Amino acid sequence: MNGIRLETGLEAWEGRVDAAEGELALRWHQVVHALPTEPARGAAIVGFACDEGVRRNQGRPGAAEAPEALRRALSNLPVRRCRDLFDAGTVRLEGEDLEGAQAAYARRITEVLDLGLLPLGLGGGHEIAWGAFLGLAEHLAQRELKPRIGILNLDAHFDLRVSEEATSGTPFRQIAEECFRRDWPFHYCVLGISPFANTEALFERARAWGVRFRLDEEMTSADLPATLADVEAFLATVDHVYLTCCLDVLPAASAPGVSAPAARGVALEILERVIDAACASGKVRMADVAELNPLLDEDGRTAKVGARLIGRIAERLA
DSSP 178-233: HHHHHT---EEEEEEE-TTSS-HHHHHHHHHTT-EEEEGGG-SGGGHHHHHHHHHH
Q: Are 278 and 284 in contact (CB under 8 A)?
A: yes
| Cross-strand bridge partners of residue 193 | 215
pLDDT at 282 over 90: yes
Tell me if the domain spanning 3-317 has CATH number 3.30.70.1230: no
DSSP state of 197: S
pLDDT digits (tens, 9 = 90+) for 117-135: 999 999 999 999 999 999 9
DSSP state of 250: S
pLDDT at 272 over 70: yes
Note the pLDDT of residue 318. 76
Q: Are 91 and 135 in contact (CB under 8 A)?
A: no
pLDDT at 1 over 60: no
Spell 133-160 as b/e; 16+ CB within 10 A means b: bbbbbbbbeeeeeebebbbbbbbbbbbb
Query: What is the band of 216 on the pLDDT scale with cuts at 50, 70, 90?
Result: very high
> What is the residue type of 144?
E
Gap between the Cα atoms of 151 and 234, Å rounded: 10
pLDDT above 70 coverage of the chain, percent: 99
Q: Are 305 and 268 in contact (CB under 8 A)?
A: yes
Note the pLDDT of residue 243. 98
Gap between the Cα atoms of 54 and 62, Å rounded: 9
Average pLDDT score over residue span 286-303 = 97
Q: Domain segments of the chain: what residues?
A: 3-317
pLDDT digits (tens, 9 = 90+) for 220-265: 999 999 999 999 999 999 999 999 999 999 999 999 999 999 999 9
Which residues have C-beta within 8 Å of that of residue 233, sequence separation ≥ 6?
none
Note the pLDDT of residue 173. 98
Q: Are 40 and 83 in contact (CB under 8 A)?
A: no
Smallest Cα–Cα separation from 259: which of 160, 128, 126, 131? 126
pLDDT at 301 over 60: yes
Smallest Cα–Cα separation from 49: which of 104, 11, 86? 104
Gap between the Cα atoms of 215 and 199, Å rounded: 13
Q: What is the DSSP string of 138-172?
A: HHHHTT-SS--EEEEEE-SS------SS--TT-HH
pLDDT at 184 over 60: yes
